[in-house]
Amino acid sequence: MTPEDNVQPIEPSAPLSGSLGARCRRFLGSVMSTRLDKSGSRLKVIGAAFIAVFLAIDGKLIMLGVAPESAPGLKQAAAEALSSARPDILDRNGAIMATDLKTMSVFAEPRRIIDKDEAVELLTAVLPDVDAKELRTRIGSRKGFVWVKRGITPEQQQEVFRLGLPGVGFVPENKRIYPNGPVAAHVLGFTNLDNQGIAGIEKYIDGQGLADLHGAGFNLSRSDLKPIMLSIDLKATHALRDELAEGVAHFKAKSGAAAIMDVNTGEVIAFASLPDYDPNNPVEALDPNHINHLTVGTYEMGSTFKAISIAMALEANKVTLKSSVDARDNLRYGRFTIHDFHATHRILTVPEVFTHSSNIGTARMAMMVGVEGHKAFLRKMGQLDRLRTELPENAMPIVPRNWSELNTITIAFGQGLNVAPLQAMMAVAGLVNGGTLLTPTFLKSDTDDRRAQGIRVVRPEVSESLRYIMRLNATIGSAKKADIPGYFAGGKTGTADKIIHGHYAKDRVFTTFMSIVPSDKPKYLFLVLMDDPQAVEGTFGYHTAAWNSGEVAGKIMERVAPLLNLPPSIEMPKEPFPLVAKLGIGMNDVLR
């Protein structure tokens, strides 16, 4: 045997030398050859390749699923829409005044849009109120998510869908709607596009913790939130607003307002300020003429303030209902002269001061109390500080900087102190309900709980005395137009000259009227005010409160009282004012 016979041949499939690339090529060439003995290896390699590809795809999907988004995406946008849900707002009887409605909004993902100019052209053709330039800017950004239009109609959604644009889609949102339009608009307020409360009760709700919950990322739905029940009666407010609108138009007033308050709880039952706005279109609220005249406006309340002044003198024991006040001559103070609109030029009893609306008599009673006593009483009645209610919109009273005796004289009959009408209403309600001052509320409340929160401001006999003279004024005085049969109403008119360019204008007035129903045991206090009403046919050239605000108040009372379960009574009360009767004062006039 030769040496060559002992040498074993080297298989080509297992090279001992050469580069890695060469070895791989030889290996693949061997595997992919058509030899039958290599078919098993081929199947193994192909299977391994498929497995590797699928593992790579799965890994990528897992990474995309768990990785945080670097920019807002569809998921985040949808979550934000859901988190802006708000509770329903109901009237005191459960009627819906504000609720959420599910709507669709169009969004775009700029990085997925292929032809941005085409997308803008097509979208603005379907959504003509979208500004093309602004949309082009948004879509041209590098953001992952931008809004195209929020709150579209179902028809618009279908048209956008048919465009088939990649990178354009829809997300559900909550849209706030107010099914009763402008009714109680100033109470409800409104929300912005993100469903955040901007004014009124809507803003109050956010301030009670709703905004904090949304900010913390809680995805709340409407069903998670307890409805807010207001003190407002929807039907009564609708009727009140309707009568007020007719009155403002008839007397050609610049504006007007009206309200009804439950004097025993402080609940605001009905509320309207005209001109108003539709909260479904909140841009209308930006008009400065659409302010809430009852809480934001401050005015001289005219002779309605005499109710407060006379109650003050009675509470201070400076007068009784049987006292007399000299109103024979004008009251002079320095270079100023105080006179009566309908002067009697005689000595008046305290009830006559009220029914004749004597500025002189009221001023003399205020002077009996004195400057400091006057200021203290008005502060106790909440007239010198800002009125705080659930409504965020409120105004600070305009109080004299240096309060002199002259200020006390004029403020006594309603000039020289500007307050919000709801503020003055609060004071009168506290004086007639037995003497307990209650802060007005727009939330439905329990009577006992509210009374417990009140502050005693006058004695019960003072409260009855004021109710007596208010009833007397409705039968023989200036409040006759509110003496609706069957309601035993009482009231007081107020006419204040408007200040124009720093001076009182004799031909421009601000009129107010307050009325209680019924006078013996008051349940409701009605307020009507008008800015610059005109003398019209049937008013005999007058534009004072009795001829406009008083007349409208009577119409409101007659229409609304039955809606508030207060039907007219056929019989007069037998002993309406027992404490007054004990003073030996007759009841004939008040029982007319």
Q: Active-site residues: which are they?
A: 303
- DSSP type of residue 452: H
- Token match 């995309």: residue? 64
Question: Is 314 in contact with 462 (CB distance < 8 Å)?
Answer: yes
Question: Is 416 in contact with 407 (CB distance < 8 Å)?
Answer: yes
Of residues 209, 220, 276, the one with CA closest to residue 79 = 220
Binning the chain into helix, strand and coil, the percentages to the nearest 5 are 40, 20, 40
Question: Is 120 in contact with 106 (CB distance < 8 Å)?
Answer: no
Of residues 27, 59, 57, the one with CA closest to residue 42 = 27
Question: Is 572 in contact with 591 (CB distance < 8 Å)?
Answer: yes
- Token match 């803008």: residue? 120
d(CA 108, CA 135): 10
Q: Is 395 helix (H, G, I), strand (E, B) or coil?
A: coil
d(CA 292, CA 348): 39
Q: Which two tokens stand for residue 369?
A: 């109390």
Residues 6+ apart with CB under 8 A from 270: 232, 233, 236, 237, 239, 240, 258, 259, 260, 560
d(CA 579, CA 79): 65
Indicate the length of the chain as a whole number.
Answer: 592
b vs e for 568-589, b when ≥16 Cβ sit within 10 Å of the residue's Cβ?
eeeeeeeebbebbeeeebebee
Question: H or E segment at 494?
Answer: strand 490-500
Q: Concatenated DSSP letters for 337-373?
A: EE--TT---EEEEHHHHHHTT-HHHHHHHHHHH-HHH
Q: How far is CA 138 from the centre of its chain?
A: 34
Cite the beta strand spans of 2-95 per DSSP E. Answer: 89-90
Of residues 403, 433, 424, 432, the one with CA closest to residue 494 = 424
Answer whether the bond into residue 518 is a cis peptide, omega within 30°.
Answer: yes
CA distances from 310 to 3, 235, 458, 520 (A): 143, 35, 12, 18
Question: Is 206 in contact with 83 (CB distance < 8 Å)?
Answer: no
Of residues 165, 170, 119, the one with CA closest to residue 140 = 119
